[in-house]
Amino acid sequence: MSPKLRLVLIWLAVIAVVSMIISDPSGSADFVLAIWDMIWGAVLAIATFFEELFTGILAG
């Protein structure tokens, strides 16, 4: 990808995000919270996996 095309795509993405925030702040906040919940759920799942893994290793 050429640097100019990449720069144009980045600017289009920034403009789209700013437009979304200005036009619907409540919806944007809900979207960010939903993404955060997904990320936090994944982190907790990975932590639970390793906790169970190490508990099994130490117990067995």
CA–CA dist 29, 40 (Å, integer) = 16
With respect to residue 58, please indicate whether it lies within any of the assigned structural domains.
Answer: yes
With respect to residue 9, please indicate whether it lies within any of the assigned structural domains.
Answer: no
Q: In the chain, how many domains are there?
A: 1
With respect to residue 14, please indicate whether it lies within any of the assigned structural domains.
Answer: no
With respect to residue 35, please indicate whether it lies within any of the assigned structural domains.
Answer: yes
What single letter denotes the amino acid at residue 1?
M
With respect to residue 48, please indicate whether it lies within any of the assigned structural domains.
Answer: yes
2-23 tens-digit pLDDT: 999 999 999 999 999 999 999 9
Domain that holds residue 30: 25-60
With respect to residue 16, please indicate whether it lies within any of the assigned structural domains.
Answer: no
With respect to residue 11, please indicate whether it lies within any of the assigned structural domains.
Answer: no
The per-residue pLDDT for 60 is 64
With respect to residue 18, please indicate whether it lies within any of the assigned structural domains.
Answer: no
29-54 tens-digit pLDDT: 999 999 999 999 999 999 999 999 98
Indicate whether this model's pTM tops 0.85. no
